[in-house]
Chains A and B, each alone.
Chain A
Amino acid sequence: MLHAATPQPFQRRAQDALWRRILWVFPGILAVIFVLLVVVWAEFNQKNERTAFEQTLLADAASVEAQLVGRQDMERAKLREVARKLPDATAGSSLNLAAMPDVVAGMDRLWNWLVWLDGNNRVVARAERKKPMEILASDDLHVQADGLAHHLVEPVLDAAGNPAGQLLARYAIGDLLRSTDLAWLNRRYEVSFVSELGEIIATTAVSGKEPRGVMHEMPLTAFKDASLRLTPYEAPVSWRESSSTVLLLLGMLLLGLGASHWLRKEMRQVSRAVTEAQTEAAWRQSMEDSALVGLRARDAQGRILYVNKTLCEMVGFAREDLVGLMPPLPFWPTDTLEALLARNTNTLAGDAPSAGFETRWRHRDGHYLDVVIFESRLVNSEGVHIGWMGSIIDISERKRLEERDRQHTDTLAQHARLNDMGLLASELAHELNQPLTTIVSYSAGLEIAMKRQPALDADLIVAVEEVNRHARKAGDIVNWIRKQTSRSAVDRKNRDINDIVSEVLGSRMVQRQCAHVRLVTSLASGLPWVTVDTIGIEQVMTNLIRNAADVLKMKTGEKTITLSTQLHRRRPDGEEEILVGVVDNGAGLQGRTIDVLCSAFYSTKQGGMGLGLGICRSIIEAHHGTFTAEEAPGGGAAFFFTLPTSALALQAGAL
């Protein structure tokens, strides 16, 4: 069954593998993975970089501190030098500390002032710098809290080496920083010194350069209450902040996803096309397989390339058995093999008749089948002739019907011929009957009359006796003929008359003859059986129907032949019999009686022998029935015949 709306009568061969169907996802997934890997890698890289940077930062900070501690240590050493050079404290009161070269140097270098305290913390001497400090380095270092100062303390030892006071040097932290060479650091960091309170003591944050990155602060061991803050100018740049990288990754991702999308679309199209192709192929296959015509494709050498299911079933071989075979083919009957090979050669040479040719094949199980083969050229898409396409139609059934029909017609014809002879004899007998009766009667009478005459010529008596004798002999012959013909119906069977009517109406001959006529039946049911020669009765009906159909050919308008059967009581004795009628609505009898119609050699038809109705009558009379014709009530001819019911027929036969 075909459903036009949803043409999906075919199961797909096999579901495609899952990976095949989601293949389109991979570009997208790859792109995502790639981007993620890049991000991870970048993050990792950045972390490493940051760690390295921080280590550098720590190292730098440490080296700054080391530098500052170094300075402090150096200053402390200088101060110790000064302390060592100091005279005894008692003498020191007069000492001009500021005049000492080491102190001058110290003052120039860093120290703001110097105080010498004795063991009792009394000032022994002091020196103070008068002029501001010359800036040696770190021009960019701006000291914000100039007041912040720091002390260096060194013990002053007496001659015995015991502590006898101390020497204090005071210096401004800003000066210390200012005099420390931090230029190498300045380039990379904004350097700030921050007090414990968070005040910026000094900073390099001046020169328009914006510090970025993470600020790093570490306490200075050199100054207990200050810490160093380094803010790098060049922090390692995060990939996230790099628009090009992000764009690149984003582009990558989009590209991958786009590729996926496109691939999906393409795959869907391909899949749809494949499905359509499969469906179409399935349709075609099923069409070819369900065709009533066998199909076979062969290459130019006659090798079978393709056969459809119908052909396989026709010959009983599987497709695999047939494809690839060369003639002679396995379903060719062996007795006609050579003829088939010769025709095959003709076909391959292109001489196959376009109207097809009939041949006989042999099914695998041994039965024969009649087929008609139509060969046509098989042409590929470039128009090149590559082989032969054969359409094979199984006509065995048609042949069988034709054969049966022909046999039936033959039987009828033979029967008709025999009946014609019988009728001829019967008609002759009938026609001779009356004159013979006359001759016999006259001659018998004449013989008597002559014998009464006195002195009659003896020769005349002999003559009339001979006439009488021969006339009787002729009468015997006629009677013998009549007995023969009346005995001719031999094979009689009990039948239902309606069955015979149905068989007649079903015969191809009647259907052919009555193609232009409406056939009506009016059959009584439950009729008693009749004992008849079926073929004879069929012939009567066929004959009557054919006559009616012939008459109706001349008529225009509605053409009807009515067949009727009914139970009927015979007029003289009331015996039951079957009345069968064949009534047409044609021109009617036109005054002709049944005797005229039935007489031998009387025909209204051109080319008619004029025996038809006569035969009908003799057949019916042989069945002890009667055959009559009358005008039909509505115009047309009505032929009736009666048949005794089976019981009466037996009775009559016994008489």
Chain B
Amino acid sequence: MRDTQTIFLCDDDAGVRNSLSFLCRQHGFEVSAHSSGPELLSAIDAMASPVRGVFVLDVTMEPMSGPQVHEQLRARGLGKRNPVIFLSAHGDVPIVVAALTKGALNFVEKPHTDGTLLPLIRQALALEEVWQSQARRAELLQSLWGSLSLQQKRVALLVAEGKLNKVIASLLDVSERTVEVHRSKVFEKMGVDSAAALATTIADLRACGISIAVDGESMN
């Protein structure tokens, strides 16, 4: 199933908002136009399914500026899923620079006469696909990892390090047989068929920033 990507447009100037909506629609994109940050955020919050698409935000808006909206989106966990493009006007350079360091994809200076906006939107949409799938995979991995018991997680980490069952048994102070049972359960739950594949998956988990620590949990 492929979700429809939407361009979430936010600009307090009606002319710019409407014309950009029109342009994007003519290019066949789904557009959701909003006149202010709070309006956009409440629309986002009302959506049940994961938000698909990119954000195009004007920098200078009242009462909430573009970077502030960006901040709110990141607070909602959308920073790694939905690219943000800023529409900047004259004099916004420091603000835009700051926003870029916070993870915004790019910015376009108004008026966008050089035709940079639509290519940028396309690029952003493509990127969004990747980000979304990465995010989905991370979610999947996290849920798989979460389905493991504490002892299974310990065994999984040690297996991923390439340790033999015998070594693992002595480390965890259990029988070699028990280790073997845990190992087959882990392979089954994580959907892998080798220790090398498990190691890759755990590396992915680490890369997604998902907590795989087990030390903090009870040892009994």
Contact = CB atoms under 8 A, between A and B. Distances in A.
Interface of A: 426, 429-430, 433-442, 444-446, 448-449, 471-473, 475-476, 478-479, 482, 486, 570, 572-573, 575, 617-618, 621, 624-626, 644, 652, 655
Nearest to B67: A572
Contact of B23 (A445, A478, A573, A655): A445
Contacts of B13: 434, 437-438
B97 A652 contact: yes
Contacts of B25: 445
A476 B90 contact: no
Nearest to A444: B23
Nearest to A485: B90
Nearest to A451: B26
Do most interface residues of chain A lie in helix, strand or loop, or is the interface mixed?
Answer: helix
Nearest to B100: A655
A440 B67 contact: no
Interface string B10-26: 00010110111011111
Interface string B66-100: 01000100000000000000000111011101110
Given A438-B13, A438-B19, A621-B90, 19 more contacts: A430-B89, A430-B90, A433-B90, A434-B13, A434-B15, A436-B111, A436-B113, A437-B16, A438-B15, A441-B22, A441-B23, A448-B26, A471-B111, A475-B113, A486-B90, A572-B67, A575-B98, A621-B91, A624-B93
Closest 6 CB pairs of A and B: A441-B19, A475-B113, A438-B15, A445-B23, A475-B111, A621-B91
A434 B94 contact: no
B109 A479 contact: yes
B111 A433 contact: yes
A575 B95 CA distance: 11
Contact of A438 (B18, B71, B114): B18
Contacts of B19: 437-442, 445
Contact of A433 (B20, B26, B110): B110
Interface in B99-139: 99, 101-102, 109-115
Interface centre among A438, A471, A570, A575 (most CB of B within 10 A): A438
Contacts of B111: 433, 436-437, 440, 471, 475, 478-479
Contacts of B94: 570, 624-626, 644, 652
Contacts of B114: 472
A352 B137 CA distance: 101
A438 B16 contact: yes
A479 B89 CA distance: 10
A476 B116 CA distance: 13
A435 B93 contact: no
B27 interface: yes
B26 A655 contact: no
Contact of A437 (B22, B97, B112): B112
Contact of A440 (B26, B27, B99, B113): B113
Given A433-B89, A486-B90, A442 B22 contact: yes
Contacts of B115: 444
A485 to B, nearest CB: 8
Given A434-B15, A440-B112, A429 B90 contact: yes
Contacts of B101: 573
Contacts of B97: 652, 655
B43 to A, nearest CB: 21
Interface residues of B, number: 32
Given A445-B25, A445-B26, A652 B93 contact: yes
Interface of B: 13, 15-16, 18-20, 22-27, 67, 71, 89-91, 93-95, 97-99, 101-102, 109-115
A445 B102 contact: no
Given A486-B90, A573-B101, A624-B94, A437 B15 contact: yes
A417 B96 CA distance: 30
B69 to A, nearest CB: 12
A572 B16 contact: no
Nearest to A570: B98
Contacts of A570: 94, 98
B56 to A, nearest CB: 11
A442 to B, nearest CB: 4
B98 A479 contact: no
A95 to B, nearest CB: 193
A383 B114 CA distance: 93
B15 A572 contact: no
A440 B113 CA distance: 7
Given A479-B109, A572-B95, A573-B101, A434 B16 contact: yes
18 contacts: A426-B90, A434-B110, A436-B110, A436-B111, A437-B110, A437-B111, A438-B13, A440-B19, A441-B20, A442-B19, A445-B26, A445-B27, A449-B26, A476-B113, A479-B109, A624-B94, A626-B94, A652-B93
A574 to B, nearest CB: 9
Given A433-B90, A486-B90, A479 B15 contact: no
B199 to A, nearest CB: 38
Contacts of A626: 94
B211 to A, nearest CB: 27
Contacts of A444: 23, 26, 115
B90 A472 contact: no
Interface centre among B16, B90, B110, B112 (most CB of A within 10 A): B90
A640 to B, nearest CB: 15
B118 to A, nearest CB: 8
Contacts of A430: 89-90
A434 B58 CA distance: 11
A448 B90 contact: no
A476 B27 CA distance: 23
A482 B91 CA distance: 9
A476 B67 CA distance: 26
A442 B114 CA distance: 15
A134 to B, nearest CB: 175
Contacts of B95: 572
A482 B16 contact: no
A90 B13 CA distance: 212
Contacts of B15: 434-435, 437-438
Contacts of A644: 94
A187 B183 CA distance: 194
Nearest to A452: B26
A439 B97 CA distance: 28
Contacts of A446: 22, 26
Contacts of B18: 438
Interface centre among B67, B90, B111 (most CB of A within 10 A): B111
A572 B98 contact: yes
